[in-house]
Amino acid sequence: MRLIYIHQYFLTPEEGGAVRSFHLAMGMAKAGIRVDVISSHNREDYDIQDMHGFRVHYLPVPYKNEFGFLKRLWSFWNFVRAAKKLILKLPRPDLFFVTSTPLSTGLIGLWAKKRFAIPFVFEVRDLWPEAPVRLGIVKNPLLKKSFYGLEKRIYRSASKIVALSPAIKKHIAKVVPDKEVSLITNFADTDFFFPEYQPKVIDAHDRRSSLKVAYVGAIGFVNGLDQLLNLASVALKENLDWEFVIMGKGAALEGLKAKAEMENLNNVSFREFGDKEMVREVLASADLVYLSFRQEPILGSGSPNKFFDALAMGKPVILNFTGWVKELVLQHHIGFYHFPGKETVLLQELKAFKERPEQWSKMKTKSRKLAVEQFSKNLAIKKLIGLLKPLQRQGKASGAYNRTA
């Protein structure tokens, strides 16, 4: 089978961030599928790289989290146009695998199906346009109607749909009740992240503390990390020798640093955004991993990468949002819920739990067990391969173009 994988924000472990597509592409290549990934980068020229049995085509389409709404839309549209041009130069695939966000990547799937009768699978990572509408980012009635119409059209045209969370799957079922939706959540790399890993000294800020809480990930408007600083502030007032580590990048980082400095939060340290090696260092040195989103129900529908990294490391978590992840954490007794404004209550829970090492040990064991038995990388890849194989014949039986790279 030959497959073209569309992901505008493809990342490698060396770059850090969300590397789901890297592992899925590598898993497909190992299963004998010839994979070409089409992505973008902030450089001026087109580039192609061979990686672990698959190829990645980088289109020169700039994008940054700091971009405003209109500039983001322009980037999305440019990527669609550039990807179409590149596809015409590549060997004809049997199948397209298209992942969002942005939703606009689905336009490539629609185009390929109409022009070449090639089927596509659409993977839904976040609810778009539902999320920006709920967050007040998209307000124009005509834009809303257009985006919702595009969402429905993509779902209806896709041969298969993959949802990254139960909440996303439920939403899609409401939009297109007649379509089958497969659930393949984000996953844990249980080979790379494991409880026995011994951390090294990370940098000069590293210090000994009786308890360390770490946040690793995006630092943007939707992440709501003020709540973590509030927790650190209360811990400082109670003279607790606890440390709070924040590692990541995003538009809200400088504001967060300014707030920590203004409030003299000397128990908070910031680390530069790093690759997977650095993420492992930070998680390994932490006692608890903090997961954070703003208090918007729609944000709890996602499948946060660092939750699964924490599970693989055997780390209990603290989270401040509702949704399926919260239900999972409380059901399996692998963490704590940070109710907004109730920092003192949470600190009391943590202090009491810290004094019961046997329960602490059980929580770590349960986290790792959940990662291995339900959310391992290999399970996700196996499920995806099983989903794709029946579609191979559809692509081969349909019309073809014969241009080659």
CATH number at residue 82: 3.40.50.2000
pTM, two decimal places: 0.91
Same domain flag for 15 and 138: yes
Band the pLDDT of 404: cuts 50, 70, 90.
Answer: very low
Band the pLDDT of 384: cuts 50, 70, 90.
Answer: very high
- pLDDT given at position 403: 42
Coil, strand or helix at 330: helix
Please state the separation of Cα 35 from the chain's center in Å.
21
Position 202 in a domain? no
Same domain flag for 221 and 174: no
Q: Per-residue pLDDT for 221 more than 90?
A: no
Position 346 in a domain? yes
Helices marked H in 269-376: 276-285, 305-313, 324-332, 343-354, 357-374
Amino acid occupying residue 380: A
Band the pLDDT of 9: cuts 50, 70, 90.
Answer: very high
**pLDDT tens digits, one per residue of 263-292:** 999 999 999 988 999 999 999 999 999 999
Same domain flag for 53 and 71: yes
- pLDDT given at position 344: 96
Same domain flag for 124 and 225: no
Same domain flag for 237 and 366: yes
Band the pLDDT of 256: cuts 50, 70, 90.
Answer: very high
- pLDDT given at position 343: 96
- pLDDT given at position 209: 78
Contacts of 373 by beta carbon, 8 Å cutoff, 6+ apart: none
Same domain flag for 321 and 367: yes
Please state the separation of Cα 145 from the chain's center in Å.
27
Position 197 in a domain? no
Same domain flag for 93 and 141: yes
Position 13 in a domain? yes
CA–CA separation, 241 and 261 (whole Å): 18
Burial of 178 from C-beta contacts in 10 A (0-12 / 13-18 / 19+): exposed
Position 320 in a domain? yes
- pLDDT given at position 67: 75
Contact 18, 9 (CB under 8 A): yes
- pLDDT given at position 137: 87
Peptide bond into 185 cis (omega under 30): no
Mean pLDDT of 304-311: 95
Coil, strand or helix at 186: coil
Q: Per-residue pLDDT for 395 more than 70?
A: no
- pLDDT given at position 396: 56
Helices marked H in 31-121: 69-87, 106-116
Mean pLDDT of 358-382: 95
Position 204 in a domain? no
Q: Per-residue pLDDT for 397 more than 50?
A: no
Query: In which domain, by residue range, is 50 found?
Result: 2-187+377-397
Band the pLDDT of 398: cuts 50, 70, 90.
Answer: very low
Position 35 in a domain? yes
- pLDDT given at position 402: 43
Position 402 in a domain? no
Same domain flag for 258 and 389: no
Same domain flag for 242 and 132: no
Q: Which residue has the higher pLDDT, 13 or 396?
A: 13
Same domain flag for 154 and 259: no
Same domain flag for 352 and 385: no
The count of structural domains within the chain is 2
Same domain flag for 218 and 337: yes
Q: Per-residue pLDDT for 164 more than 50?
A: yes
**pLDDT tens digits, one per residue of 137-162:** 889 999 999 999 999 999 999 999 99
Q: Per-residue pLDDT for 132 more than 60?
A: yes
Mean pLDDT score of the chain, rounded to an integer? 92
